[in-house]
Amino acid sequence: MARASRAEQTLRDSRRLVQETLNVEKILAIAKYLELSNPETAITPDVIKAQFRKASEKVPGNW
């Protein structure tokens, strides 16, 4: 089994701490993680969708 990168593990860990339940909370948690971990990167819907996949989360259907 492939080992997840450190950034992916950090995203998963930070999302577990938040324990969000609504899709909007999940999106905001990912956006905050991106802002803190990589401030020079623009946060776009496509970037957030990619982070859902990296964290092994389903992208919300109403996105």
Query: Considering the chain, what percentage of its residues have pLDDT values greater than 90?
Result: 21
Residues 6+ apart with CB under 8 A from 33: 10, 11, 14, 15, 51
Range of the domain at 49: 6-54
DSSP string, 5-61: PHHHHHHHHHHHHHT--SHHHHHHHHHHHHHHH-TTS---HHHHHHHHHHTT-PPPT
Establish if 59 belongs to a structural domain.
no
Establish if 15 belongs to a structural domain.
yes
The reported pTM is 0.67
Inter-residue contact 24 to 6 (CB < 8 Å): no
Total domains in the fold of the chain: 1
Q: Is the pLDDT of residue 16 over 60?
A: no
31 or 20, which is more confident?
31
Q: Is the pLDDT of residue 45 over 90?
A: yes
